[in-house]
């Protein structure tokens, strides 16, 4: 077994078992920033390229709050609603702009339903994608799989961006 096969196989197994925390598993007691960093870091660790590159940092979180994508914490404490949005931002910012994420968050759905919908979609997409990759394949086949997945991601990103642009334009027209 090659290192590539082992590394890919190990990660794919983790991906097939991954799920974002259920809404009920999010802490019911508001957390301070350092606790938020620990919680989100653990919850999103599968998606980090390495241990040195966190998907969320203190500065990023502060910027999301300043830009209005995430509500201001209450007495420097972050609620379930904050945590759910921060985890969604951490994952979505890989494919959408912060402005597009803000459009997603501007709908009528409450934070709990939005998070549940996202968690289900994320898990389904991840499990389906991971199941379609065969880590025992040779390097050329793995590169071809990576290329195909990247092309699919680009296409899906473009469609998502167009939908969000149309929603944003519609919202502006109503004002």
Q: Which pLDDT tens digits describe the chain residue by residue (175 residues)?
A: 576 666 888 899 999 999 999 999 999 999 999 999 999 999 999 999 877 788 999 999 999 999 999 999 999 999 999 999 999 999 999 999 999 999 999 988 899 999 999 999 999 999 999 999 988 888 888 999 999 999 999 999 999 999 999 999 887 887 6
Which 3 state secondary structure label does DSSP give 78?
Answer: strand
Return the pLDDT at 1: 56
pLDDT at 7: 82
- Report d(CA 66, CA 17) in Å as an integer: 35
**pLDDT value at position 3?**
66
Distance CA 32, CA 67 (A): 20
Alpha carbon of 115 to those of 35, 52, 104: distances in Å? 20, 27, 11
């Amino acid at each position: 077994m090659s290192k590539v096969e082992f590394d890919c196989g190990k990660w794919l197994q983790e991906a097939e078992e991954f799920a974002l925390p259920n809404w009920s598993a999010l802490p019911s007691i508001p957390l301070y920033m350092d606790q938020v960093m620990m919680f989100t870091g653990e919850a999103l660790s599968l998606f980090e390229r390495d241990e040195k590159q966190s998907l969320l940092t203190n500065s990023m979180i502060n910027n999301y709050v300043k830009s209005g994508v995430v509500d201001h914490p209450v007495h420097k404490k972050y609620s379930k609603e904050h945590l759910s949005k921060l985890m969604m931002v951490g994952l979505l910012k890989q494919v959408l702009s912060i402005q597009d994420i803000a459009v997603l968050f501007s709908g009528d759905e409450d934070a709990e339903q939005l998070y549940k919908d996202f968690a289900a979609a994320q898990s389904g997409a991840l499990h389906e994608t991971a199941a379609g990759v065969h880590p025992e394949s040779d390097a050329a086949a793995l590169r071809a799989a990576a290329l195909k997945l990247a092309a699919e991601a680009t296409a899906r990103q473009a469609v998502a961006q167009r939908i969000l642009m149309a929603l944003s334009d519609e919202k502006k027209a109503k004002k």
